[in-house]
Amino acid sequence: MQTNWMKSVAIVGIAAQVGCGLVKLSVNGGGAPVNRSESGLHRGGGGGGDAPIERSDSGLHRGGGQPTKREAMAICGVDRQTPGTGLIAAVACDLHEDTYGRVATTAIRHMDAGGEKSVLAPAAFVAACGGLFTMKKTRRDPAYVDYVTYRMCRLEQAKVDDKALAAALDAAKQDDKVKQLVLDRYHAGVARLDEVTDLVAEHETTWPTDKAMFDETVKQVNQKYMPIFDRWTSTFQAIEDWYQKIPEGGPSVIEGCAAKYQKLLAKYVATVAPKAKGNALLEALKDPVGFHLSEALAVCYMEVEDPIHARAFASWYLKGGKRVEGWHEALWDAIAANTAGAHYDGKKLSNWVGSGHRLDAVAPDQAWHALDSYTANTSEEEDTVAAVKKQGDHVEITWKTKTSKEREAYDCVTDYGHVSSVDEYGKFHYDEHCKYEMVTEHSTRRPLLVLAADATRVKPGTTVAVIYGSDTKGEHTVLWVKQGDDVVWAAGITLR
């Protein structure tokens, strides 16, 4: 079966296996010194990027002699998803192939999505902290340090013990020089954190709300998000397995997927939004847990060729959300949400904390790139319902007439003695003097047909949003239904 679905992996490299599945890396010479000006742990990233590896500055090779450029790229391009070796290669090659941000991203992906439990992952993150961004003091900004990243670095450093790190490198059967290079870069990251400690203390004195925000956000993620996320981890893994089967699995793989994932999504929403209150239902569809389930349902609708509902999910329900794999990503996202506008809980934060601190590439690419096409050429309408009439498996919605008052001109006289403007074609425009009156206007949207199954809560007096696109043959689907200020229906889920 030719599928529309394709999964993107944002890690480039060559997967190599030797013996028990680990690639043995060896090094000729130490690592390059940490470049303090290369910032990789703040939005926007730093220099370096994917610059080619020259023979003279390549650190890794297999055995004696200088490696060719292709050999060096192959070694440094070890699949970053490989347990252990991927992390070691990321750290050992960070000043060649990776910016600091990419190394930190690799570490987070291993801890969150990969379930890496060894100290190699937090150690890799701390190594990336060598690129911690700071700026000189100014009159306006008495102390600048990338505060959120600094706190994250310290959290990861607390998980690493030098002996445990050395033991993990030994277990990975690495060359002594590779091990030393990784240890050196880890210690360079720690040294960078120690170097800015006084600057951080000054920052916290100037902006105590930054510290309170970070501490409270960690507590929020630990107490509210992770307990729920952990209960759904096995379901997320089952969804990932399903994604892998779609390309070659045939019709049987997608059979019944809509009912299955609709049930799972409704079950989750019932735990976080049991009653209709404001936009709680809509938020649950794209929160860190709900997004996984909504995404699976979106993929399902696309695969079973249901463009009406695929469009509703792709262009609306999932808009503004993204997949989150674990604690670190959840914390970055919660911080971004809590610092929007540089305020938290009604209190002002420093200008830098509210600037979107998160690693750009932490979240995996959407598993449904083909759904992007459903976000184009989409029309949305929202209005108050006047009447509903059943027509087979559809219902016709009639909208309430809106009344408005407009200021209307009459008895206008052109004053040719006063030029008001000259346009780009050289034409003169003259002043105009008019009389005005208030006119009452009435407008009514045309009636719409929607699927009856999506209109169970559509009643006179409710506010309804509908959506349609060119691929739906003019058919509309209901996005959500509001009773007063509360969303009572969306995505096939009803709340009371």
Same domain membership, residue 255 and residue 147:
no
1: in domain? no
439 forms bridges with which residues in the sheet?
406
pLDDT, one tens digit per residue, over 96-105 is: 445 787 788 8
Q: Is the pLDDT of residue 178 over 50?
A: yes
Same domain membership, residue 233 and residue 174:
no
Same domain membership, residue 272 and residue 248:
yes
pTM score, whole prediction: 0.66
CA distances from 237 to 113, 209, 243, 259, 325 (A): 10, 38, 10, 19, 10
Q: Helices 147-157 and 197-206 sit at what angle, rounded to 10 degrees?
A: 130
398: its two tokens: 């009639």
Same domain membership, residue 235 and residue 190:
no
Same domain membership, residue 188 and residue 41:
yes
What pLDDT score does 378 carry? 72
- For the chain, state the CA radius of gyration: 29
18: in domain? no
Task: Find the length of the chain.
Answer: 496
Q: If you search the block for the tokens 């290369």, which residue do you land on?
A: 38
Domain boundary among 375, 392, 418: 375
387 forms bridges with which residues in the sheet?
398
Total domains present in the chain: 4
Average pLDDT over residues 124-136: 82
| Bridge pairing between strands 477-483 and 486-490 | antiparallel
Confidence band, pLDDT 50/70/90 cuts, at residue 248: confident
410: in domain? yes
Confidence band, pLDDT 50/70/90 cuts, at residue 142: low
What pLDDT score does 21 carry? 32
40 vs 425 pLDDT, higher one:
425
Q: What phi, psi does 14 have (nearest 5°)?
A: -115, 120
Q: What is the DSSP letter of 63?
A: S
CA distance 122 to 114: 13
290 vs 336 pLDDT, higher one:
290
Confidence band, pLDDT 50/70/90 cuts, at residue 14: very low
Q: What phi, psi does 167 have (nearest 5°)?
A: -65, -40
Q: Is the pLDDT of residue 311 over 90?
A: no
CA distances from 329 to 103, 322, 337, 361 (A): 15, 10, 12, 10
Same domain membership, residue 303 and residue 186:
no
Q: Is the pLDDT of residue 137 over 90?
A: no
Of the ranges 250-254, 351-355, 363-367, which one carries the lowest mean pLDDT score? 363-367
Q: Is the pLDDT of residue 5 over 70?
A: no
10: in domain? no
CA distance 209 to 199: 16
Confidence band, pLDDT 50/70/90 cuts, at residue 38: very low
**Domain range enclosing 81:** 26-206
Q: Is the pLDDT of residue 341 over 90?
A: no
CA-based nearest residue to 156, from 38, 325, 327, 37: 327
Same domain membership, residue 365 and residue 496:
no
34 vs 315 pLDDT, higher one:
315
pLDDT, one tens digit per residue, over 158-174 is: 999 999 999 988 888 77
45 vs 228 pLDDT, higher one:
228
Same domain membership, residue 262 and residue 320:
yes
Confidence band, pLDDT 50/70/90 cuts, at residue 373: low
pLDDT, one tens digit per residue, over 463-492 is: 999 987 655 566 788 999 999 999 999 999
Provide the percentage of residues in the chain whose pLDDT is more than 90.
36
Cβ density class 371-410: b for 16+ within 10 Å, e for less = bebbeeebeebebebeebeeeeebbebbbeeeeeeeeeee
Q: Using an 8 Å Cβ cutoff, are 115 and 374 in contact?
A: no
12: in domain? no
Same domain membership, residue 486 and residue 365:
no
397: in domain? yes
Confidence band, pLDDT 50/70/90 cuts, at residue 146: confident
User: What's the mean pLDDT when you consider all of the chain?
Assistant: 77
Same domain membership, residue 371 and residue 226:
yes
Confidence band, pLDDT 50/70/90 cuts, at residue 27: very low
Average pLDDT over residues 76-92: 72
CA distance 52 to 49: 9
What pLDDT score does 366 carry? 43
What pLDDT score does 230 carry? 87
Domain boundary among 169, 184, 206: 206
2: in domain? no
Of the ranges 135-139, 203-207, 302-306, which one carries the lowest mean pLDDT score? 135-139
pLDDT, one tens digit per residue, over 407-452 is: 999 999 999 999 999 998 999 999 999 999 999 999 898 898 899 9
CA distances from 364 to 8, 103, 231, 274 (A): 8, 15, 21, 30
21: in domain? no
Same domain membership, residue 47 and residue 184:
yes
Q: What phi, psi does 389 have (nearest 5°)?
A: -130, 125
CATH number of the domain enclosing 397: 2.40.50
CA-based nearest residue to 196, from 151, 258, 256, 241: 151
Q: Using an 8 Å Cβ cutoff, are 107 and 124 in contact?
A: yes
Same domain membership, residue 162 and residue 80:
yes
What pLDDT score does 411 carry? 95
